[in-house]
Amino acid sequence: MDLETLMERALSLADDGDWVTAAEVLREQLADFADEASVHCALGVAERELGNDGIAYECFKKALGLQPEDPAVLATAGNGVAAFDDPAAMEALKSAAVLAPDLPLTRMLYGAYLAREGFHDWALEQLEAARRLDPTDSQIAYELGVAFALAGQMGRAADSLGEAVRLDPLDGWTRVVYGLVLLEDDRLDEAAGELLEGARLRPEDVEGQLLAALAAGATGLDGIAYEMLERGRVHAVEGDAELVDSAEQQIDAGPEAAASFLEDDMQSEALRVRLKERP
C-alpha cells in the first residue's frame, strides 16, 4: 500500500466514524512509513478519538520531530501536543499559520491555542481571519465564540456561538457552552432553551443535565426540570450523587432558589472548564 492509498483509506474510515479500524490500518502500516509525519499525525488523531491520549501524544510528538512541511500536519500535531501543555505547540501552530495563511484550519487552531493561553487580541485576529476564509465552518464560529468569552466579551461570544449553533444545530457541546454564555450575559430564558437542547443531545453529560434542570426550574418549567434531573441521575457516577441531590433540593425550593444555585454554584465554573477544552 502506498502512502496516498493509506491516507485515503484512513480518511474514509474516519469520515465513517470507524476510528477502531482506522487506527488498526495505520498501526499495521506504521513500520513501512516510519519517516512519514502525516502517518504518525493521522494515527495520533485516531488514538485520541479512541481515548488513548498518552499514545496520541507520542504520535503527535513523533510527527513534529520529523519536521513536517505540510501546514495541515503541523497544525494538527501542534494542536495535539497542546493538550499536554507541550511548549512545542506554539511554534508548530505559529509556523502552520505563517506557511498557510489562507488555510482556515491553520488560522483556527493557532487562534484557539492563543485564546486558551491568554493572548486574546492575537487569538481574535487569527480566528476572525479564519472566519473570513470560511464563514460556513461551525468549528471556527465556535472557537471565535470561545475566544470572545475568554476575553470577557460575553455579548460577542453569544453572537458567535449562536452562529455556530445555526451552522450545526446537532452539536450538543456547543449548545451547552452557548447556554452558559447566555447565562453569563443575563439571558436566562434563552439560556434555558439552549441548555435543554444541548443536554438532550448529550445524555451522558451529567453536568449538562443538571444545568438544564436548574435552568428549567429557574424559569418555572418544573416538569422538564425534574425530567432532566432524573436523566442526570441515571448517568451519574460516583461523586455526582451529592451534586444531583443539591440540584434537586434547589429545584424543590422554587425558581428563585434554582436560579440562585445555578448562578452562584454552577454556571461560572462549568463555563470556565468547558472553555478550556481544546479542539
pLDDT of amino acid 213 = 97
Q: Which residues contact 102 (CB under 8 A, 6 or more apart)?
A: 133
pLDDT of amino acid 246 = 94
pLDDT of amino acid 237 = 83
* Domains of the chain from N-terminus onward: 1-100 (1.25.40.10)
| Residue 145 CB burial class (10 angstroms; 0-12, 13-18, ≥19) | buried
Quick one: how far is CA 257 from the chain centroid?
A: 30
pLDDT of amino acid 1 = 79
Question: Per this entry, what is the length of the chain?
Answer: 279
For the chain, 279 residues long, give each residue's pLDDT as a single digit of tens. Answer: 789 899 999 999 999 999 999 999 999 999 999 999 999 999 999 999 999 999 999 999 999 999 999 999 999 999 999 999 999 999 999 999 999 999 999 999 999 999 999 999 999 999 999 999 999 999 999 999 999 999 999 999 999 999 999 999 999 999 999 999 999 999 999 999 999 999 999 999 999 999 999 999 999 999 999 999 999 999 888 778 889 999 999 999 999 999 999 999 999 999 999 999 987
pLDDT of amino acid 278 = 86
DSSP assignment, residue 100?
Answer: -
pLDDT of amino acid 279 = 78
**Element holding 186 (H helix, E strand):** none
Q: Express each pLDDT in 58-114 by its tens digit.
A: 999 999 999 999 999 999 999 999 999 999 999 999 999 999 999 999 999 999 999
- The span from the CA of 67 to the CA of 175, in Å, is 38
- The span from the CA of 181 to the CA of 198, in Å, is 13
